[in-house]
Chain A
Amino acid sequence: DAGITQSPRHKVTETGTPVTLRCHQTENHRYMYWYRQDPGHGLRLIHYSYGVKDTDKGEVSDGYSVSRSKTEDFLLTLESATSSQTSVYFCAISGQGGEKLFFGSGTQLSVL
């Protein structure tokens, strides 16, 4: 998966708890993205980063925050998980904005 590692691969948590998902890349790509994938909605952008400490919101950013303190790591945090955040989360990277993305293997998150 193009030098992208997502962790954990699976997580079950309870409503109201904080959750952090990690994306680590070894490609030294500038751009990193977090998407969620749900039946009937396809892939939707949560947040993205265009450099260290440079992040911006996507179309479904409510309830999520991100941080990028190093080129290789992009963290997605659910401050207080809700059942509507049960989803598969994918990290993606790109060497250039507006070009093809390379995806990680995903994290299956279940919020009970």
Chain B
Amino acid sequence: GESVGLHLPTLSVQEGDNSIINCAYSNSASDYFIWYKQESGKGPQFIIDIRSNMDKRQGQRVTVLLNKTVKHLSLQIAATQPGDSAVYFCAVPKGGADGLTFGKGTHLIIQP
């Protein structure tokens, strides 16, 4: 089945810097990708998604890049703030009604 992996379990950045969180997926037929943010003690929160007919999609301070050739996607957070401290997951649909496959997450730590 589909597997989704994140490259780093922890990422530490300085406040104000840009953050880049990476994710790899295994199924070249995957056509939809989602990023979630999970703050301590809360449920995962949808951030942004992208379909395979796009290479890039921008939201508010976030950008997702998709490289289908190497089956890699990244989440870029501009001007990282203390409120960005959380665990970030990428996810891909399993292909039916049974939801998503999630990566294990990257914990983003913001240094003052």
Contacts and interface: CB of A to CB of B under 8 A. Distances in A.
Interface in A74-112: 90, 92, 94, 97-106
Contacts of A98: 32, 93-97
What is the interface residue range for chain A against chain B? 20 to 34
Main secondary structure of the interface of B (DSSP, over half): loop
Interface residues of B, number: 22
Given A42-B89, A43-B102, A97-B98, 18 more contacts: A33-B99, A42-B102, A43-B89, A48-B97, A48-B98, A90-B43, A97-B96, A98-B32, A98-B95, A98-B96, A99-B32, A100-B34, A100-B100, A101-B44, A102-B46, A105-B42, A105-B43, A106-B42
A31 B97 contact: yes
Q: Which of B43, B44, B96, B102 has the most CB of A within 10 A?
A: B43
